[in-house]
């Protein structure tokens, strides 16, 4: 049934369509398919989405306010017209979620998720008790999409995994999990292009944003990170045939109490990869351990078979206008590969202080180009 839907969030329906106040669309409300609060709506959602995907005009899948249980969802396009999920309620995963993802959306052009609702992965029920590889939401090969306003809570592993996507925007989101929750990266992005993460708050037990191989053109702006492990390019160089990472811009971001700030990391003596055109600008650090770090001897839990130099090449990287406070004394730690020293690394207007007054900078296998303020000195 055709209907006129007014936006609850004054945003565009889809990333490539600008609308003002209304849009003509089909509406598929899960409550019309037998779904109701405090019950399992898996089948209601799947039926509503299937009908929306088959709609010849733009379609909304609506999940009203309320708390709902929902099992594993794996839906694929192509769809006949743009599809938007409007989530106002709270979705709760099974405590023991099977497989590697709770929700998977794949192969859809012009796809959006909006609203003020929550994906609750129920990871709090298993943290410290058992391990899980279940990601809250996987986006596979989505083009021209937007995810806005929603919350991802207590994922059992990564909150959001992005693979093979193009022109996908994440904005005004909240991503939360306890600081000690294992492997709960906020957003992991790989093998994708033209991705944006904007105006989002991320507090997790691992990287707020992690960047895998093959990512081309990522913009991260006005993101607040903490607790967590910072924003990381990598780790890279662990697996054969990793694709280059190029064109990363992280700007106007704030890190609060994180274990790392902005970071590039690669494994020693394993596989080749390339990282280039990576820029961190206008960053505020608040009580951050290792605010600026390039680690080409990354080897967690002593998993490396060899301690030889990393085969990953890093070039055209800049750290500019970075200020704030350090937890500990290591403000800048640049450890590049002796086999492939970092090339064209620029540092400008760095001002990082520690409570001890002994903040330090260490640079190995690199000759950075330094302009403006450089505090601490040492590189």
Active-site amino acid positions? 229
- The secondary structure element, H or E, covering residue 277 is strand 273-288
What SS3 class is residue 272? coil
Contacts of 176 (CB under 8 A, 6+ apart): 151, 152, 153, 154, 201, 202, 203, 204
Q: Are strands 151-153 and 330-335 parallel, antiparallel or unpaired?
A: unpaired
Query: CA 107, CA 268: separation in Å to the nearest integer?
Result: 35
Per the document, the length of the chain is 379
Query: CA 20, CA 10: separation in Å to the nearest integer?
Result: 8
> Facing residues of 2 across strands?
26
* Pair 197, 219: CB distance under 8 Å: yes
| Alpha helices for 55-141 (secondary structure H) | none
For 191, phi then psi, to 5°, come to 50, 40
* Pair 135, 157: CB distance under 8 Å: yes
Query: CA 124, CA 354: separation in Å to the nearest integer?
Result: 34
Cα–Cα distances (Å) from 357 to 69, 179, 272, 287, in that order, read 52, 27, 39, 13
Report DSSP state, residue 40: B
For 228, phi then psi, to 5°, come to 150, -170
Contacts of 239 (CB under 8 A, 6+ apart): 213, 271
Report DSSP state, residue 157: S
């Amino acid at each position: 049934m055709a209907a006129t839907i007014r936006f609850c969030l004054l945003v565009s329906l889809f990333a490539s369509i600008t609308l003002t106040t209304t849009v003509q669309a089909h509406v598929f409300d899960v409550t019309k398919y037998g779904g109701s609060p405090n019950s399992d709506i898996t089948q209601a959602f799947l039926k509503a989405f299937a009908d929306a995907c088959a709609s010849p005009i733009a379609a909304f899948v609506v999940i009203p306010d309320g708390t709902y249980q929902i099992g594993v969802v794996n839906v694929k396009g192509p769809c006949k017209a743009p599809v938007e999920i409007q989530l106002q309620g709270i979705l709760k995963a099974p405590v023991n979620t099977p497989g590697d993802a709770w929700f998977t959306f794949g192969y859809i052009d012009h796809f959006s998720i909006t609203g003020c609702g929550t994906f609750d992965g129920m990871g709090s029920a298993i943290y410290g008790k058992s391990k899980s590889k279940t990601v809250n939401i996987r986006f596979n090969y989505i083009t021209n999409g937007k995810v806005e306003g929603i919350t991802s809570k207590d994922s059992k592993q990564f909150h959001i995994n992005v693979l093979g996507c193009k022109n996908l925007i994440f904005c005004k989101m909240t991503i939360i999990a306890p600081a000690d929750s294992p492997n709960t990266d906020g957003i992991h992005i790989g093998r994708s292009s033209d991705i944006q993460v904007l105006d989002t708050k991320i507090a997790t037990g691992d990287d707020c944003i992690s960047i895998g191989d093959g990512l081309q053109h990522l913009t991260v702006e006005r993101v607040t990170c903490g607790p967590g492990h910072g924003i990381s390019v990598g780790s890279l160089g662990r697996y054969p045939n990793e694709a280059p990472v190029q064109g990363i811009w992280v700007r106007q971001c704030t890190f609060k109490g994180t274990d790392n700030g902005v970071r590039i990391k690669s494994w020693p003596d394993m596989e080749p990869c390339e990282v280039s055109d990576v820029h961190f600008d206008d960053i505020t650090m608040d009580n951050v351990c290792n605010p600026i770090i390039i680690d080409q001897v990354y080897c967690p839990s002593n998993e490396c078979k060899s301690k030889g130099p990393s085969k990953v090449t890093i070039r055209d990287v800049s750290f500019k206008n970075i200020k704030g406070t350090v937890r500990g004394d290591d403000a800048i730690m640049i450890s590049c590969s002796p086999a492939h020293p970092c090339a064209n690394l620029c540092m400008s207007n760095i001002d990082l202080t520690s409570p001890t007054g002994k903040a330090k900078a260490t640079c190995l296998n690199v000759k950075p180009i330094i302009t403006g303020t450089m505090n601490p000195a040492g590189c």
